[in-house]
Each structure stands twice: as C-alpha cells, then as structure tokens.
C-alpha cells in the first residue's frame, strides 16, 4: 500500500474537457494527499506540464476524446517530455483497441479508466500506479 506520507510528494496532472470530471479527480486525490492540478483544455495542460521541471509530475490523467487535441496526442507529447511519467487514459466511450494501437503505437499507457467511474475505482487505479512507481 502507498502510505499518505509518500503521497505528499506525488504530483498528479489531469485533463478532461468536462470540468465536472476534472473537479472530481482533484477533490478525490487531494483528499488522498496528492498534489493535483487539473485542466479542461489540453493545450493549457500541456503548457503547464512542460513548464514544470522534468520528472515533477508522477501521474497524468487524460480524457481520450477532447477537442483541439485528443488524449492520444496529448499523451504522446507528455511522454516526449517525460518518458517515465505514468499515464492513465479515461473515456466514456468503449475503448477501441485498433484505434488505440493505430493512434498511439509504441507508447505505454499504464491504465485505462472507463467513465463513469466511482471514487473507489479512481483510488484503486491510482493505488496500482503508485505502487508500481515507488
């Protein structure tokens, strides 16, 4: 289990064009002692990610269907800057394996979160990622 003491040092960045989802992630993970910043615009999220020191963020959440820049492109750009950051893709749609492999070949995604998700499911996926990133 990841203790709350080491979570204090973990930073999460989340982007979802639905502000309600971004808010839920922020509120839930802040309660778990993570440092969380959220965005509804992937361009702003990416600018923020790139402006922080390399390796600053531990986990990135990204919605898949977003206007302007989809989650695949966002993750690709994030990984270009920080190849070891853990990535969780989220979608309310069925996740299409063929589409995923066509649009994001050679990029490792650490977990998928199907929307709608419960707080428990959110915490579980973060727990899993956090264990692996220790």
Q: Rule CB under 8 A: which of 3-32 touch other proteins?
A: 17-18
The nearest distance, CB 108 to other proteins, in angstroms, is 21
Is 70 a binder of other proteins (CB under 8 A)? yes
Binding of other proteins at residue 67 (CB under 8 A)?
yes
Nearest to 100 by CA among 62, 134, 46: 62
Stretch that binds other proteins, among 29-37, 59-67, 78-86, 117-125 (CB under 8 A): 59-67
For residue 88, count other CB atoms closer than 10 A to its CB. 22
Burial code of 53-72, b = ≥16 C-beta within 10 A, e = fewer? Answer: eeeebbbbbbbbebeebbbb
DSSP reduced 3-state for 60: strand
Task: Please give the structure tokens belonging to residue 90.
Answer: 């989220």
Question: Based on CB atoms, which residue is closest to other proteins, 6 or 118?
Answer: 118
- The residue range among 22-30, 53-61, 63-71, 117-125 that interacts with other proteins, by the rule CB under 8 A, is 63-71
- 65 binds other proteins, rule: CB under 8 A: yes
Q: Which is nearer to other proteins, 53 or 67 (CB)?
A: 67
Closest residue by Cα to residue 9 from 33, 39, 38: 33
The answer to whether 47 contacts other proteins (rule: CB under 8 A) is no
The span from the CA of 121 to the CA of 132, in Å, is 17
Residues lying near other proteins in the complex (CB under 8 A):
17-18, 41, 65-70, 92-93, 99, 103
């Amino acid at each position: 289990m990841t203790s709350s003491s080491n979570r204090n040092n973990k930073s999460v960045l989340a982007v979802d064009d639905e502000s309600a989802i971004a808010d839920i992630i922020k509120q839930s993970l802040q309660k778990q002692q993570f440092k969380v910043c959220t965005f509804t615009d992937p361009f702003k999220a990416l600018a923020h990610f790139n402006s922080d020191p390399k390796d600053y963020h531990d986990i990135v959440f990204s919605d898949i269907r977003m206007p302007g820049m989809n989650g695949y492109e966002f993750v690709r750009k994030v990984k270009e800057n920080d190849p070891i950051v853990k990535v969780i893709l989220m979608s309310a749609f069925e996740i299409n394996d063929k589409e995923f492999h066509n649009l994001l070949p050679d990029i490792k995604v650490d977990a998928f979160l199907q929307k709608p998700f419960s707080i428990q499911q959110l915490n579980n996926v973060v727990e899993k990622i956090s264990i692996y990133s220790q």
